[in-house]
Amino acid sequence: MKAISKTNEAVYERACNVLTGGVSRNTIFRKPHPYYVATAKGSYITDIEGVERIDFANNMASLIHGHSHPAITEAVTDQLKKGTAFTLGTEAEVKFAEHMIARSGTFERMRFVNSGTEAVMTMLKTSRVYTKKPKIAKAEGAYHGTYDYAEVSQTSNPENWGSIDKPNSNRVVDGTPQGVLDDVIIYPFNDIERTLNILNEYADEIACVLIDPVPHRVGLFPATEEFIRAIYNWTRANDALMVFDEVVTYRVNYGGKQDSFSVKPDLTAMGKMIGGGFPIGALAGRADIMEVLDPRGRILRHPHSGTFSANPVSTTAGRVAMELFDQEAVLKLNALTNTAIHQIEEAIKIADVPISIVGAGSMFRLHLQKNKPKSYREAYQTKEKKGLINELLDYMFLKENIIMINTGACMFATSLTQKEVDRLSEGLLNGFKLLKPKLHRLVGVY
């Protein structure tokens, strides 16, 4: 039997014969071909050709302790020997829920699902059931997974986004029904006056205002205390819910980004890092709202299940990961990330390039503009900007052996040290210098 060539290009050629586009998720696609992992440990990934890279993407923010953490691996291995999924409950689910409710003051009841998308979907449906209203409101440009109602206007652009006073509801996927668009109200993130004016127009129909408190696709800058308080007050006055998508941002503080605000959400969707490297999602919040999911009710208002929801592998891995991500670990990781930001800002000054950096907690994002953006429209990447971001990321990946997220963002893990931070800032400095002429021409045009 002929040996199969172990090169990234060869594996991709095989993949194109069996997978649409050669991939199962577009995130990993890159030209001329994706790269394939042989092994990973801590913050290092080695591909099948033997090239080792430092991972600052951590599977799109889902690996808070990096790869193959020994405590998680041991716990999961023990569980695998006992079984992986049953038509019965497991204590693993209960123990994990107890931990999450203990660390988050706004959580009274929980439900586990299988992804962040599913968590947001369940949260929106729960909000509709509880309020008996049809519409949701979400920020222009914000990513909340792939549920029809959650993804509206996440890719709005200057040709279709309309007036900032009343942004358009735009489809992401061709064929999305007009009825879906009609039931999603779009507001400009962090813009209190315009947002309240928009919400007031639909006050009798809005079930919930959906907020990612540090929305990555919008620009990865935090919601202001004033904005969150204004939304909270509006929802109290209009029998609506304020719900948070903390699928990414739960890492910011011990109890999520919501710990930063004086008012708290009614419901919170989570995912990514709370799975300890395995698929998971969760919905948590007020007991009276979560009651609509209760099968003990006289009328089952929101039938909810899922074949792999709360499976013991994901809940075991997640519990161990979150127990390890204690107060001390959160503060230490945030401090390391802050050091990285300062070093990259110094690299920006040395290279004399028009780049700014924003973020929160253990995550940040580069913007190819001198001033930090404060809105989705300010942060919007033109074709030219996106091209330069891709050049920078390709340089980092291929020449510096550093992996970043495709927007120019980094999501840190506890496995990172000052050594890797130095490599990151030095690599970016080299990349900035290389792209400096193009960056300055870009600023001259825009």
pLDDT digits (tens, 9 = 90+) for 405-440: 999 999 999 999 999 999 999 999 999 999 999 999
Checking if the pLDDT of 3 tops 50, the result is no
User: What is the spatial distance between Cα 89 and Cα 399, in angstroms, rounded to a whole number?
Assistant: 49
Catalytic residue list contains 264: no
Helix, strand and coil in the chain, % to nearest 5? 45, 15, 40
18: CB partners within 8 A, 6+ apart:
none
* pLDDT-based confidence at residue 300 (cuts at 50, 70, 90): confident
Q: What long-range pairs does 104-108 form, CB within 8 A, spacing at least 24?
A: 104/255, 104/256, 104/258, 104/268, 104/284, 105/255, 105/264, 106/255, 106/258, 106/264, 106/265, 106/268, 106/284, 106/285, 106/286, 107/268, 107/284, 107/285, 108/284, 108/285, 108/286, 108/287, 108/290
Q: In the prediction, which pLDDT does 443 show?
A: 75
pLDDT at 446 over 50: no
Q: Which of 55, 183, 191, 245 is catalytic?
A: 245
Residue 159 near residue 188, CB atoms below 8 Å: no
pLDDT confidence tier of residue 5, bands split at 50, 70 and 90: low
Tokens found for residue 399: 């020449």
Q: What is the DSSP letter of 189?
A: T
Tell me the C-alpha to C-alpha distance, in Å, between residue 443 and each of 157, 235, 311, 382, 406: 19, 41, 50, 12, 21
174 catalytic? Reply is no
- Is the pLDDT at 297 greater than 90, yes or no? no
Classify residue 258 by its DSSP letter. Answer: G
Instruction: In whole angstroms, give the CA distance from residue 364 to residue 88.
Output: 41
Q: Which two tokens stand for residue 338?
A: 């802050």
Let me know: does 103 contact 322? Beta carbons within 8 Å. Answer: yes
Residues 181-220 pLDDT 10s: 999 999 999 999 999 999 999 999 999 999 999 999 999 9
The sign of the torsion formed by the CA atoms of 248, 195, 284, 259 equals positive
Tell me which of 30-34, 42-46, 124-128, 168-172 is least confident: 30-34
**What pTM does this model have?**
0.96
Catalytic residue (one of 143, 147, 149, 380): 143
Q: How far apart are CA 189 and CA 213, in angstroms?
A: 10
pLDDT value for 105: 86
d(CA 435, CA 174): 36
- pLDDT > 90: percent of the chain: 95
- Around Cβ 430, how many Cβ atoms within 10 Å? 16
What's the pLDDT tens digit per position in 261-285?
999 999 999 999 999 999 999 999 9
| Helix, coil or strand: residue 234 | helix
Asked if 245 is an active-site residue, the reply is: yes
Crossing angle for the helix pair 383-398 and 418-445, nearest 10 degrees?
150
**DSSP at 372:** P
Summary mean pLDDT of the chain: 96
Q: Where do the domains of the chain lie, and which CATH numbers do they carry?
A: 35-64+326-445 (3.90.1150.10), 70-324 (3.40.640.10)
Question: Which listed residue (272, 376, 380, 395) is catalytic?
Answer: 272
What's the whole-number mean pLDDT along residues 292-314?
93
Mean pLDDT of 315-328: 98
